[in-house]
Amino acid sequence: MRLIRTIAAATLSLALTLSPMASAQAAPARIKDIVDMEGVRENQLVGYGLVVGLNGTGDSLNNSPFTKQSLQSMLERLGVNTQGENVRTANVAAVMVTANLPPFSTQGSRMDVSVAALGDADSLQGGTLLVTPLLGADGEVYAIAQGPVLINGFSAQGDAASVISGVPTTGRISSGALIEREIDFHLGSQHTLRLALRNPDLTTARRIALAVNDFIGAPTAVPEDPATVRLTLPRNFNGNIVDLLTDIEQLIVQTDQTAKIVIDENSGIIVMGKDVRVSSVAVAQSNLTVTIAENPEVVQPNPLTLGETAVEPNTNLNVNQSDTALQVVNESVTLQQLVDGLNALGISPRDLIAILQAIKATGALQAEIEVL
């Protein structure tokens, strides 16, 4: 049965690849690479702890009262009473510890954790994280973290200069957390399961359902919306839901997406999808440059007078405006032709952002603009 399914999957994949109905520009991908399975996810954990062993780069206890309170509480649990004493150590830092609990993690396995300073510590280099419980969103302890902190940056300073490379107040502990509690989820006992598309699209969801149904030979998959495909375990299927997922996750599907332009105004980055189209428009762009230069002048008083030397401001103001004639951006068939037409205007990426938004406002741009 497994051999027959494997041969059928290979035959279906070849058919989808060679099918004349499939778009030549569509991106083929495996189902496992474009969907997430319901219930198969990471869980965020967070904890508060102390890093000790710092070489004088820890928190100043006078400015970080939470570090002092945590240190005194820890020492009391260990049988050392410091209440009322003036603790002045600089080798301790309060930190926040974060981690992602992998799906299907078992008790006794380990995972990586990240450590970030909470107070005014200068560096966590050489420090060791003490036992820190990691809590989930429900307030339960799922892991315990402890170990030496490794950082990617460093800091050094002298009397008149200092240098900082990277971020020395953050670090990571490889395999630094021991998992104590498991997530109660049994995938194999499920009879229905939802596949969540990472890039929601109606066409892609329908293609996934068709590929699965053609491979299984029964109405197993149903597209519910652009982001969800529901799987139902067939009655005559020889296995559980895990076997079904194993058989279908290698199927090749031609993905589709909406025409979209993504703009990051802070960095001036513009990314266009292959399906972006624009109608014929005429574009004119004007550059206005204002230059202001301050050249203060020193004015001396006349001899034998009671005047004083003074500094008078002298401002040079220059305004330069360069106009660009109307340029025609022809109706594009491909993304390359659209890019060539916009590049013919000779404008910067930041000006191109404003032009694209203006073209969209006229209705000549057949694409969605997303501003980050």
Tokens of 154: 């460093």
Tokens of 186: 């049994």
Give the whole-number percent of the chain exceeding pLDDT 70: 76
* pLDDT beneath 70: ranges in the chain: 1-27, 153-162, 164-165, 281, 283-294, 304, 315-342, 344-347
Partners of residue 45 on adjacent β-strands: 99
The pLDDT assigned to 10 comes to 43
In three state form, how does the secondary structure of 123-183 look?
CCCCCEEEEEEEECCCCCEEEEEEEECECCCEEEECCCCEEEECCCCEEEEEEEEEECCCC
The pLDDT assigned to 329 comes to 58
The pLDDT assigned to 20 comes to 36
Nearest in space to 113 (alpha carbons), one of 171, 62, 164: 171
In three state form, how does the secondary structure of 88-120 look?
CCCCEEEEEEEEEECCCCCCCCEEEEEEEECCC
Q: Which helix (H) or strand (E) holds 202?
A: helix 202-216
Q: Are strands 297-299 and 260-264 parallel, antiparallel or unpaired?
A: unpaired
The pLDDT assigned to 101 comes to 93
Q: Per residue in 23-70, pLDDT tens? A: 344 568 899 899 998 878 889 999 999 999 998 888 888 888 888 888
Nearest in space to 329 (alpha carbons), one of 274, 273, 275, 285: 285
DSSP classification of residue 332: P
DSSP classification of residue 187: G
Cα–Cα dist 347/233, whole Å: 56
2-18 vs 202-216: helix crossing angle, rounded to 10: 140
| 3-class secondary-structure state, position 226 | coil
142-167 burial, b at 16+ Cβ within 10 Å, e below that, comes to bbebbbebebeeebeeeeeeeeeeee
- Whether residue 33 contacts residue 251, with contact meaning beta carbons closer than 8 Å, is answered with no
Domain architecture of the chain: domains with CATH: 43-179 (no CATH), 189-254 (3.30.70), 258-285+328-371 (no CATH)
The pLDDT assigned to 355 comes to 77
The pLDDT assigned to 231 comes to 92
Cβ-in-10-Å burial (0-12, 13-18, 19+) of 320 comes to exposed
Tokens 């058989």 belong to which residue? 247
